[in-house]
Amino acid sequence: MLLLCVRCAQITPLTGGKKDTEAPKLLKAVPANASLNVQPKTIELTFDEYITLKDVMNQFVITPQTKQFPEIEASGKKVKIKFNETLLPNTTYKLSFGNAIVDLRESNNLPNFEYVFSTGATIDSLKLRGTIENATDKKAAAQVLVGLYPAASADSIIYKEKPLYLIRTDDQGRFAFSYLPDRAFKIVGIKDQNKNLLYDGSEEQVAFVPQAVDPKDTTEIRMRLFKEIPYKSFIKRHYSVEPGRVNIAFNKPQSGTRVKADGLILARWNTLGDTLSLYYANRFDTLTTFVSYATGKTDTLYIRIPAENAKASERGSVKKANSYIIKSNLEGASIPYFLVPELQLNFPAYHKQVKQESIILMEKKGTAPATVKSYTLIADSEPALSFTLQTELNAECNYTLTVLDSAFTNDYKRLNDSTGYKFHTTTPDDYAGLSMKLLFPKKENYIVLLKNDKGQVVDRRIIELSLTSTAEKLIAYKNLLPGNYYIEAIEDSNKNGQFDTGNYFLHTQPEIIFVNSGAIKLLAGWEIENEWRVQ
């Protein structure tokens, strides 16, 4: 008995066998894959294991498109596709399942499964392939709907009808159509945000080839994805920012738009040109504003003005009191030695009403006593929202800028509180220099942007190349902070000094942007020489 006890087997848990890592395999198709002269009402696909369907509404694509989406269901080891319409004659149909077919046990998917049949005597075999990149940064445009339409169709078809053939770009922006007939197509890419297979205008992005493409003659298609500027201008909203200031936001950048308003002191556009700030004399209950567009259309706005003593809930977005709020580019312990001191106001002030003796700049170098630093006060306009203290700061010095009470005032009893700034200036050795030689592809006008590693534009240059000049340009950059920098060049074909996007109906492409993806590393106290062949 002892021997028997010693030799008893140990009990171990069951492992369930080896884990299934293989995708389902197609065993049978009715009609058979690549069948000819068939007009099936139902297609039945049988696999070697129990399967299910995942995200079939987004993964499944039939080309050419049917009027109604087929009924698709999985049961046991079978997938059934039922058509509720008569299919086109002499047409090759391709059913692409993407990654929708997965096994029931381990969810292994059958990637990019396709089933093909023809209602005619042949299987169409032409192909069409290409890539789509973003027009602004040249990065691959992923998950863009690429559609093929009849070549003779009007441009408006992309707004009204779904494409005959469609596919989506992969993560590298690539697409490839197969089983195409021998005829030409209109090809368009759409960043289909709402997945309705239609182009919804400037709310989405678009890419296109102006002329029809023929699969048997076309090798590789390259398209650039861009967002159109809306054709019509309209006011999105208007709101009171603070007493004496109202913002009017438009749906797109404006050109030639003029504004008149009761008691208007100053009108100022933002840098994008799509928001207008109105500064007015705060003496009305309602600000009556007339907006005149370049097209001749005029909008009339009646903007309710909150009272100065209104409660915060009544003032809505108004958060500031009726006073001058001062900001400066001197907010920081260390300031570049080459910086020109600037004071920005929340409300315009007339130069003649500024008490310059109440704006005091003191300089202290080392252990020497502090002295008054002279300057010239310059307004950016009349009236002005910004005043600069035109002077040269010395390197490695301590400064104090004091703005006393009521240095800024106006006729409406708006005053500033006393404020001050203490800062120390840097030295030239804290910065780097860059000498950049650019070799342009042709003699055009270009906009050259220098960006830091956060994507912020630190320098912007307009380069004009005449027919008699060379295609080379040397640009010198000074006083750059150490770090990595990147260069971009925009081919300014219409010479308006800005990037212009494309227009689908006008068949115009966005201006070309060249991106130097290689980082330029700058070190403090060093000047680097670099060269870029723009392409």
pLDDT tens track for 264-322:
999 999 998 999 999 988 666 788 899 999 888 999 998 887 665 554 444 444 445 57
**C-alpha to C-alpha distance for 528 and 432, rounded to whole angstroms:** 8
Residue 251 burial by CB count (10 A; 0-12/13-18/19+): exposed, middle or buried?
Answer: middle
Q: Cβ(199)–Cβ(162) under 8 Å?
A: no
Same domain for 452 and 478, yes or no, is: yes
**Residue 320 domain flag:** no
Query: SS3 helix, strand, coil % of the chain, rounded to 5?
Result: 5, 45, 50
pLDDT of 317 reads 43
Same domain for 67 and 133, yes or no, is: no
**Residue 7 domain flag:** no
Among 117, 118, 108, 116, smallest CA distance to 25 is for: 108
**Residue 131 domain flag:** yes
Same domain for 257 and 295, yes or no, is: yes
**Residue 8 domain flag:** no
Q: Which token pair is 441?
A: 């592809």
**C-alpha to C-alpha distance for 70 and 402, rounded to whole angstroms:** 75
Q: Cβ(97)–Cβ(113) under 8 Å?
A: yes
Same domain for 218 and 281, yes or no, is: no
- Could you give the 3-state DSSP secondary structure of residue 338? coil
CA end-to-end span of the chain: 89
pLDDT of 397 reads 96
pLDDT of 316 reads 44
Number of domains in the chain: 5
pLDDT in tens, 446-480: 999 999 999 999 999 999 998 888 899 999 999 99
Same domain for 162 and 250, yes or no, is: no
DSSP 106: T
pLDDT of 502 reads 95
Same domain for 291 and 213, yes or no, is: no
Question: What domain range includes position 30?
Answer: 26-118
Q: What is the CATH number of the domain that holds 529?
A: 2.60.40
Q: Cβ(289)–Cβ(300) under 8 Å?
A: yes
Among 420, 428, 421, 445, smallest CA distance to 482 is for: 428
**Residue 70 domain flag:** yes
**Residue 290 domain flag:** yes
**C-alpha to C-alpha distance for 96 and 364, rounded to whole angstroms:** 75
Same domain for 31 and 111, yes or no, is: yes
**Residue 17 domain flag:** no
Same domain for 447 and 416, yes or no, is: no
pTM: 0.81
Q: Cβ(231)–Cβ(159) under 8 Å?
A: no
Q: What is the CATH number of the domain that holds 145?
A: 2.60.40.10
Please list the ranges in the chain whose pLDDT falls under 50: 1-6, 311-319
pLDDT of 311 reads 47
Q: Which residue carries 């062949």 as its tokens?
A: 533
Q: Cβ(498)–Cβ(445) under 8 Å?
A: no
Up-side HSE of residue 478: CA atoms within 13 Å toward CB? 7
Same domain for 83 and 95, yes or no, is: yes
Same domain for 344 and 373, yes or no, is: yes
Q: What is the CATH number of the domain that holds 58?
A: 2.60.40.1220
Q: Which token pair is 258?
A: 């003029």
**Residue 60 domain flag:** yes
Same domain for 357 and 423, yes or no, is: yes
Phi, psi of 220 (to 5 degrees): -140, 130
pLDDT of 304 reads 81
- Which of 385, 407, 428 is the last residue before a domain boundary? 428
- Could you give the 3-state DSSP secondary structure of residue 91? coil
**C-alpha to C-alpha distance for 283 and 262, rounded to whole angstroms:** 10
Same domain for 283 and 346, yes or no, is: no
Encoded amino acid at 387, one letter: F
Q: What residues pair up with 133 in beta bridges, in sequence order?
A: 140, 224
Q: Cβ(264)–Cβ(279) under 8 Å?
A: yes
- Which of 280, 315, 350 is the last residue before a domain boundary? 315
pLDDT of 322 reads 77
Beta strand pairing call for 101-103 and 61-63: unpaired
- Which of 87, 118, 149 is the last residue before a domain boundary? 118
